[in-house]
Structures are given as structure tokens and as C-alpha cells.
């Protein structure tokens, strides 16, 4: 069975909201991998997107994340096991269903149920090693390069002392911990002074040995902190200006070698924020964009595509109505290049893949639409 695109090929949708490929349920995640582009729907069906339509893949999946892992794409089964799309491969090990795993050199690093353990799986998804982690149950591990090679950065120490709930529950992280991928032992840790918490699901790598976290305090709200991983451990080297009021949040979504990007108070129409690295000096731009939906674990409603002719090229969700916004961020100013209205509310992350003259951007809608746009450099 193939679902066809109504009269227009996927590759022909360029900088305009044309007729979408329509799947039979809301599209909750899109993943671009070396083997192709895949979509996951709220019905738990995975689809491979092709130039003339979409092909359903075998298996029933939990409607959450997909994860590119080398040539493979991973999803979580209804029974809480990792599996590979398009193959019968399934793990025998239970995982945390809302925690997106990380991959490196063919291995898969995932959380066990509740975030209590960090698991290392082989490419065949067999268990190699497990170790205590005490992570957020929906934490997303990321890789940080440092003096001892690569380490897995994971938000740990769940606490309810700052019950903001912007990501869907009242738990936040009390620490960021780096784990050695060979032993799964903790090698460094940053713990903000109580009552502060780290209000996010993942840290943001920001260059060799550097990682950004969002620290929130009841008296000042959220602010970025730049951490450096050195032989002595993991320590702050710069602190951005906090939001100024409790329960004010920011979603930091991308970092380049010289800057990081966030949207302040994304649920009430806050500005795009550009932080210079390494000092975290700030400038903001009111562009009518957002990067997160209240209560969602999807932190990817905004992406940095790469360098373009006028600086960094970003794509963000529009605020106030369904659509996408293409933004050029130069050394001093960020400007809207184009606004792309959509006929339905966004329900997925934003994904992208290289295209001959730039990038191809993918987004999924609440009524099953898959929207594809060419963005030039």
C-alpha cells in the first residue's frame, strides 16, 4: 500500500505550502536518516517518505520519537522495547518509552524504565552493559567532546522542588552528569545550588568541551549557563541574564561555534534570542516565532540549518497561527526571509536534509499532512 502525493512530487514543493502528502493520522515525528526520511503517526505507524508518496513499514510503535542511528532508524514498540524500522529486529530490554536514545559507533545508549539505569545496547539491540543513572524519565542524552574523549551528557537527579511543568510534568533535573561510554560510569557532574534546577530534557553541546544548560530559579526564572568540561570536572564559565521572574522559561534549540539560539517565553510570543559564545551576551529579535508547545516533550519546533549567504539560516514555527518562518541571522541582525503558512497545526518536530542548493525541511501536521520546503542557503 502506498499513499500518494496529490498531483505533485515531494521534491517540487519549494518555499510555498503546496498540496501535502496526507497520512491517515497526525504526524508526531519526522526523522531524516542516510537511508531516507521517515514519519511516525499518532496511530503508531511508521512511514518511509518517497518522491511519489509514502510506504507504511511493519510494526506498531509508540507515538513519540524516531532516532537515526547510522543507517538505521529506531523507535519504541508499544511494549516498551527498541526496534529498527523496516526490520524484525527488536530488543529484549525494556526502555524508558519517552526518553530518546543516543547512538555512537554502532552502539545505542538508552535509559531503562523510569530513568533509573543507563543502558548500552549493541547494533543488534542486545544488552551490553547497564549502570545506575538516576536520570529524568524522559531525558535525552547528548554527546560532549572533552579532555577524555566523548562523554554522554544526561540530566539527572529528578526533583519536584520547582514544579513548573512546562514540559508536561512537575519533575526537573537537579544535575547534569557526564558518563563514560565504555564503562557507563559518571566522570563529571554539575549541580546548581538549590533551589535552582535544570529545566530542560537535554543539554546543548556548544563546541569542544562546552555544553549549555537552562538553569531555573524561583526568584529569577530561566537563564543559560555555559559549562566547560576540563580535567577538574564540569564547571560554569559564563552565565546569561535570567528571565527575571519565576516560571519564565526559554527553549535553547541550537548552537553554532560562536553563538546559541533560544526562544524566550515561547508560549506567550517571546522573542528569538541570540547568545554570543563564550560570554553569553544577549540580543533579542521580536519576529513572531515560537519553538515549543506547552506541555510537549517535543523541543524541536525550531532548527538551525547551517550557514547561508546572509549568516545562519533558521526555521522556526510561527507564533499565533500554523506556519513556518525562515530567518537569516547575521552578525548583528536576524531578519525574516519568508513566512510559510500551513493549512493545519504543526504536530511534529522540524527535520531537514541536504538539498542541491540548501536544505529540504520537513514538518508534520495534526491532520496528517507532511509539508516539505526547499530553503536556499
pLDDT in tens, 178-227: 999 999 999 999 999 999 999 999 999 999 999 999 999 999 999 999 99
DSSP state letters, 124-135: T--EEEEEE--B
Q: How far apart are CA 191 and CA 155, in angstroms?
A: 10
From the list 23, 48, 21, the residue with the least C-alpha distance to 372 is: 21
From the list 168, 160, 163, 162, the residue with the least C-alpha distance to 138 is: 168
Cα 335 to chain center, whole Å? 23
- Answer left, alpha or beta for residue 306, where phi above 0 means left and psi between -120 and 50 means alpha: left
Question: Per-residue confidence at 2, pLDDT binned at 50, 70, 90?
Answer: low
**182: how many CB neighbours lie within 10 A of its CB?**
10
Cell of 101: 536514545
**326: how many CB neighbours lie within 10 A of its CB?**
21
**Given a cut of 50, is residue 14 above it in pLDDT?**
no
| 255 phi/psi in degrees, rounded to 5 | -140, 140
Task: Note the pLDDT tens digit of each residue in 109-145.
Answer: 999 999 999 999 999 999 999 999 999 999 999 999 8
How far are the Cα atoms of 100, 139, 175, 317, 361 from residue 166, in angstroms, in the given order?
18, 14, 18, 18, 26
Query: What is the pLDDT at residue 202?
Result: 96
- Residue 66: helix, strand or coil by DSSP? coil
Task: Note the pLDDT tens digit of each residue in 295-352.
Answer: 898 999 999 999 999 999 999 999 998 999 999 999 999 999 999 999 999 999 999 9
Query: What is the pLDDT at residue 51?
Result: 84
Residue 208 has what DSSP assignment?
T
- Give the H/E segment covering residue 161: none
Question: Per-residue confidence at 3, pLDDT binned at 50, 70, 90?
Answer: low
Q: Where does the chain have alpha helices with state H?
A: none
Cell of 226: 555555559
| Residue 278 burial class via C-beta count within 10 angstroms: exposed 0-12, middle 13-18, buried 19 and up | middle
pTM above 0.85, yes or no: yes
Q: How far apart are CA 337 and CA 376, in angstroms?
A: 11
**282: how many CB neighbours lie within 10 A of its CB?**
16
DSSP state letters, 3-62: EEPSSS-GGG--SS--PPEE-SS-EEEEEEETTEEEEEETTS-EEEEETTEEEE-SS-B-
Task: Note the pLDDT tens digit of each residue in 154-181.
Answer: 999 999 998 877 876 789 999 999 999 9
Residue 77 has what DSSP assignment?
B
Amino acid at each position: 500500500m502506498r499513499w500518494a502525493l496529490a498531483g505533485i512530487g515531494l521534491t517540487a514543493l519549494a518555499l510555498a505550502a503546496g498540496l501535502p502528502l496526507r497520512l491517515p493520522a497526525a504526524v508526531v515525528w519526522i526523522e531524516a536518516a542516510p537511508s531516507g526520511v521517515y514519519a511516525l503517526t499518532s496511530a503508531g505507524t511508521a512511514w518511509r517518505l518517497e518522491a511519489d508518496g509514502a510506504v507504511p513499514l511493519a510494526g506498531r510503535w509508540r507515538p513519540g520519537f524516531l532516532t537515526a542511528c547510522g543507517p538505521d532508524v529506531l523507535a519504541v514498540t508499544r511494549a516498551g522495547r527498541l526496534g529498527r524500522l523496516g526490520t524484525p529486529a527488536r530488543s529484549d530490554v525494556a526502555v524508558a518509552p519517552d526518553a530518546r536514545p543516543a547512538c555512537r559507533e554502532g552502539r545505542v545508549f538508552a535509559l531503562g524504565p523510569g530513568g533509573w539505569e543507563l543502558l548500552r545496547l549493541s547494533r543488534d539491540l542486545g544488552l551490553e552493559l547497564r549502570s545506575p543513572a538516576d536520570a529524568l524519565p524522559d531525558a535525552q542524552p547528548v554527546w560532549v567532546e572533552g579532555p577524555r574523549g566523548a562523554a554522554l551528557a544526561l540530566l539527572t537527579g529528578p526533583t519536584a522542588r520547582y514544579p513548573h511543568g512546562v514540559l508536561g510534568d512537575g519533575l526537573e533535573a537537579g544535575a547534569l552528569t557526564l558518563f563514560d561510554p565504555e564503562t557507563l560510569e559518571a566522570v563529571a557532574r554539575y549541580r546548581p545550588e538549590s533551589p535552582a534546577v535544570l529545566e530542560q530534557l537535554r543539554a546543548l553541546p556548544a563546541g569542544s568541551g562546552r555544553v549549555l544548560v537552562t538553569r531555573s530559579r524561583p526568584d529569577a526564572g530561566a537563564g543559560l549557563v555555559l559549562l566547560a568540561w576540563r580535567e577538574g570536572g564540569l564547571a560554569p564559565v559564563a552565565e546569561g541574564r535570567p528571565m527575571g521572574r519565576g516560571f519564565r522559561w526559554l527553549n535553547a534549540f541550537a548552537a553554532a561555534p560562536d553563538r546559541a539560539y533560544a526562544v524566550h517565553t515561547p508560549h506567550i510570543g517571546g522573542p528569538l534570542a541570540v547568545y554570543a559564545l563564550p560570554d553569553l551576551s544577549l540580543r533579542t529579535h521580536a519576529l513572531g516565532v515560537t519553538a515549543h508547545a506547552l506541555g510537549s516533550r517535543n523541543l524541536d519546533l525550531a532548527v538551525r540549518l547551517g550557514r547561508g549567504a546572509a549568516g545562519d539560516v533558521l526555521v522556526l514555527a510561527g507564533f499565533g497561527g500554523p506556519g513556518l518562518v525562515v530567518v537569516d541571522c547575521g552578525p548583528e541582525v536576524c531578519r525574516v526571509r519568508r513566512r510559510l503558512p500551513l493549512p493545519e497545526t504543526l504536530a511534529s518536530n522540524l527535520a531537514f536534509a541536504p538539498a542541491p542548493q540548501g536544505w529540504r525541511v520537513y514538518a508534520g501536521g495534526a491532520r496528517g499532512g507532511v509539508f516539505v520546503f526547499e530553503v536556499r542557503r
